[in-house]
Amino acid sequence: VNEAIEVTLARWKARIDGELARVASNGIALPESLRDAVHYSLTGDGKRIRGLLVMASYDALGGTRDASQLAAAVEIVHAYSLVHDDLPCMDNDSLRRGRPTTHRAYGVAAATIAGVAMVALAVTQTVRAAESLGLAPATSRKLVMVLMQASGATGMVGGQLMDLENEGKVVSVEQLEAVHRAKTGALIAASLTMGGLAAGGSKQAVDDLARAGESLGLAFQIHDDVLDATSSSETLGKTAGIDAALSKSTYASTLGVDAARQKGDKLVADAMGSLKAAGLHNGPLMELARFVAARQS
């Protein structure tokens, strides 16, 4: 790996972490349990892949300002999705980012409400980020639309419901792909789209980013399934083997681990190929794409 790219990504991640910590500390007027549950959920030790994809796409389309506020908006939605994903009525998980899940630490009611509060927080964060990047109101509106459409019933939330409804069932690989594209792919594609929009990219360039993002997003969840089946809770910082325990259909259970890995690798290679063909092959974006199916946690 190119050292300069590693340094850039580490610098960007530190900025996203700093922004999340700042947002997390702003809930002074909130009731204590809600404030603490939001703070805990936002400041957990995540990889910040989605935020980094926002910053890399912004950079790839010629953006020159600090897009970490916008990156944090996507990470706020993602962090909320994890809080709810772990709830007893969903995956009923107790370990996340190397610590007890939010509902284990603060109770189910505080975690549920904290999650919903974070959706609202993500919208205000997006509008503020657009303002600080000096973007026109029309661009700000598009950013909110892209983020909320990826988060809602036709994206992440809808995918999460299908995921739960499929527990204990044998589903086809086509159905599984639809679930994965919705529950995880949509928000990852939105990350690239938002970075491109914020940079003022052409419709063509933003569409190219979105399409690559869809492939990367599907690959990301396929690899998550593989890691669940092959790694340890200690390495992942979350409960390994929980998919089998919950009788989830995953790429690992449906295709087998090796074929799932190959499918993920191919999707990443295709995405990298189309980014290259579109002239969008800046170092950080390519490195993040490579990381999607090469990561160990």
- How many CA atoms lie less than 13 Å away from 199 in the CB half-sphere? 27
Q: Is 287 among the residues that bind Mg ion (CB under 5 A)?
A: no
97 binds, among Mg ion, ligand IPE, none (CB under 5 to 8 A by kind): ligand IPE
- Closer residue to ligand IPE (CB): 36 or 86: 86
Minimum distance from CB of 201 to ligand IPE (Å)? 24
Distance CA 16, CA 64 (A): 16
Other CB atoms within 10 Å distance of the CB of residue 145: 13
Report the residue number whose CB is nearest to Mg ion. Answer: 91
Footprint (CB under 5 A) of Mg ion, residues 37-76: none
Q: Which residues contribute to the site for ligand IPE (CB under 6 A)? A: 46-47, 49, 78, 81-82, 85, 91, 93, 97, 156, 160, 183-184, 221, 224, 228, 238
* CA angle, residues 147, 74, 218, in degrees to nearest 5: 80
Residue list 69-98, contact with Mg ion (CB under 5 A): 85, 91
Residue 156 touches which of Mg ion, ligand IPE, none (Cβ within 5-8 Å per kind): ligand IPE
Please, are residues 35 and 110 in contact by the beta-carbon 8 Å criterion?
Answer: no
DSSP classification of residue 45:
-
Q: Give whichever of 36 and 228 is closer to ligand IPE, judged by the CB atom.
A: 228
CB contact burial 126-142 (16+ within 10 A = b; e otherwise): bbbbbeebebeeeebeb
Q: How many residues bind Mg ion (CB under 5 A)?
A: 4
The entry of Mg ion, ligand IPE, none near residue 215 (CB within 5 to 8 angstroms by kind) is none
Closest approach, Cβ 160 to Mg ion, in A, equals: 6
Partner from Mg ion, ligand IPE, none binding residue 221, C-beta < 5-8 Å depending on class: ligand IPE
Write down the H helix ranges in 231-282: 233-236, 242-245, 251-255, 257-277
Cα–Cα distance list, 237 to 2, 15, 115, 278 (Å): 27, 22, 20, 36
Structural tokens at position 169: 């069932």
184 binds Mg ion (CB under 5 A): no
Residues 6+ apart with CB under 8 A from 41: 79, 80, 82, 83, 102, 111, 114, 115, 118
Tokens of 128: 């503020």
| The entry of Mg ion, ligand IPE, none that residue 206 binds, CB within 5 to 8 Å by partner kind | none
Which of 57, 45, 53, 82 minimizes the C-alpha distance to 217? Answer: 53
Q: Give me the residue whose beta carbon is nearest to ligand IPE.
A: 46
| Interface pick for Mg ion out of 228, 229, 271, 284 (rule CB under 5 A) | 228
Q: State the nearest-atom distance from the C-beta of 160 to ligand IPE, in Å.
A: 6
CB-nearer residue toward ligand IPE: 52 or 135: 52
When CB distances are held under 5 to 8 angstroms depending on the partner's kind, the choice from Mg ion, ligand IPE, none that residue 17 binds is none
Nearer to Mg ion by Cβ, of 231 and 282: the residue is: 231
Closest to Mg ion by CB, 100 vs 283, is 100
Q: Which residues bind Mg ion (CB under 5 A)?
A: 85, 91, 224, 228
